Amino acid sequence: MGKAQLSIQNLQVEYHTDEEVIHAVNGISLDLEEGESLGLVGETGAGKTTLALSILGLLPKPNGRIVDGSIFFEGKELSKTSEEEMRQIRGNRISMIFQDPMTSLNPIFPVGEQIAEALEVHFSLTKEQAEKKTAELLELVGIPRNRMGEYPHQFSGGMKQRVVIAMALACNPKLLLADEPTTALDVTIQAQVLRMIRDLKRRMRTTLILISHDLGVVAQICNTVAIMYAGKIMEYGKIEDVFRNPLHPYTEGLFASIPRLDRTQRRLSSIPGLIPDPSNLPTGCVFHPRCPYRMGVCEKTVPPLVEWEGRKVHCLKYREG
């Protein structure tokens, strides 16, 4: 350890509104080696996007703030870095692909210009060089270079997402955060875009955090997976291990709720109850109200992080020794 490219320690993020405090991320720790690809899986509202935005320092102001913990990237603590330095990291060392390609592009500028902009900010390129690089990037994501002068409304959803990906890759980032990159797309396009992200990642040796609520998507691309629930990581480990033998009751529930072709199932099960209100989290283990293996102690004790069969898991079922 210590050599990790990205290291998040006990991160806590809150959103403050007039009425309440929303606990979006509640003590997350993660370490990512260079070139690793991590899948962050969880239901809507589990704090996945918030985690990504805190890495980039783009939590919505003035409501969102990091209240505790730290994020180290290449040895530098991001939450203590000046805005000016963060700006040089954003889009350059770390970049992000956003969820909805329909709204992620500025409607009044040609797409080429929006890609070139990232290049112009981070590399001192002449206009011609930036244009040349932009054209290459567009071709890399499978868009003919002669469409760079067109506006977002002239592209389809899948094409827009390609533009967003080209934009994110423009400066060869060391770390790529992909927030549900395929959720807004048609199923047929989803596969194309996923394959593209995987190939580009391999070619550019980028570290990847893929955020998704879809275990299948994560399985296609990632080597490690972290299951998030109510702003916490429930289980974190190699993807094969987690898929083959889920340890945490929540992970188990997640797997039981997706249809599988390799087994005969009478019916799909679902996890009873709803995800907790983030302004009013349960005491003890956040998952205990919905947990089928609930024990008395779960209401009172916050489960520690336990190393179990090469994985990390937050559950009182697993105790050392």
Partner 1 sequence: MPSPVKPHPRTPWQEFWYRFRKNKLAVVGMGVILLYVSIALFADFFYSWDFVVGNQIPNAFATVGTKAVVELGGKKVEHLYILGADNFGRDVLGRMIHGARVSMIIGFITIAFAVLVGGSLGAIAGFYGGVLETIIMRGADILLAIPNMLFALAIVAAMGPSFQNLLLAIGITSVPIYVRLVRASVLTVKDQEFVEAARALGARDGRIIVRHVLPNCMAPVIVQATLGIAQSILSATFLSFLGLGIQPPAPEWGNMLSEARPYIISAPHTLIFPGLAIMTVILAYNLIGDGLRDALDPKLRR
Partner 2 sequence: MLRYLFHRILQLIPVILGVTLIVFTLTYIAPGDPARLLLPQDASDEDVAQLKHAMGLDRSFFVQYYHFLFGYDGPGDSFDYKGLFALDLGRSYVSNRPVFGTILERFPNTVLLSTVALCLSILVSIPFGIISATRQYSKIDMVVTVLALVGISMPAFWLGMLLIWIFSVQLKLFPSLAVPSNPLSIVLPALTLAAMSTAVQTRMTRSSMLEVLRQDYIRTARAKGLDERVVIRKHALRNALIPVVTVVGIQVGQLLVGAVLTETVFSYPGIGTIMVDAINRKDTPQILASVVFMALIFALVNLIVDILYAFIDPRIKAQYVQAGIRKKRGLFHAISRKTTP
Summarize as ranges the residues that interact with partner 1 (CB under 8 A): 17-18, 273-277, 280-283, 289-290, 299
Tokens of 196: 């593209």
Residue 164 interaction partner, one of partner 2, partner 1, none, beta carbon < 5-8 Å per kind: partner 2
Interacting residues with partner 2 between 54 and 83 (CB under 8 A):
56, 58, 62, 83
Q: What's the closest the beta carbon of residue 301 comes to partner 2, in angstroms?
A: 38
Nearer to partner 1, 85 or 295 (CB): 295
Q: What's the closest the beta carbon of residue 217 comes to partner 1, in angstroms?
A: 27
Q: Applying CB under 8 A, does 146 fall inside the site for partner 2?
A: yes
C-alpha closest to that of 268 among 289, 288, 254, 251: 254
| The dihedral formed by the CA atoms of 73, 78, 84 and 89, expressed in degrees to the nearest 10 | 30
Q: Applying CB under 8 A, does 88 fall inside the site for partner 2?
A: yes
Q: Applying CB under 8 A, does 153 fall inside the site for partner 2?
A: yes
Among the listed residues 116, 143, 286, 291, the single contact to partner 2 using CB under 8 A? 116
Q: What's the closest the beta carbon of residue 107 comes to partner 2, in angstroms?
A: 6
Angle between helices 187-204 and 157-169 (to 10 degrees): 10
The SS3 call for residue 12 is: strand
Residue 18 interaction partner, one of partner 2, partner 1, none, beta carbon < 5-8 Å per kind: partner 1
C-alpha closest to that of 208 among 193, 195, 224, 192: 224
Q: From CA 180, how far away is CA 157, in angstroms rounded?
A: 14
Nearer to partner 2, 117 or 214 (CB): 117
Q: Applying CB under 8 A, does 293 fall inside the site for partner 2?
A: no
CB within 8 A of 263, min separation 6: which ones? Answer: none
Q: Applying CB under 8 A, does 127 fall inside the site for partner 2?
A: yes
Tokens of 92: 């350059």
Given a contact cutoff of 8 angstroms between Cβ atoms, the answer to whether 97 and 163 are in contact is: no
Nearer to partner 1, 158 or 284 (CB): 284
Count Cα atoms within 13 angstroms, Cβ side, for 242.
Answer: 30
Q: In one letter, which amino acid is 161? A: Q
C-alpha closest to that of 287 among 226, 209, 214, 234: 234
Q: How many residues bind partner 2 (CB under 8 A)?
A: 44
Q: Write out the residues near partner 2 by the rule CB under 8 A.
A: 56, 58, 62, 83, 87-92, 95-96, 98, 100, 103-110, 112-113, 116-118, 121-122, 127, 131, 134-135, 146-151, 153-154, 164, 167-168
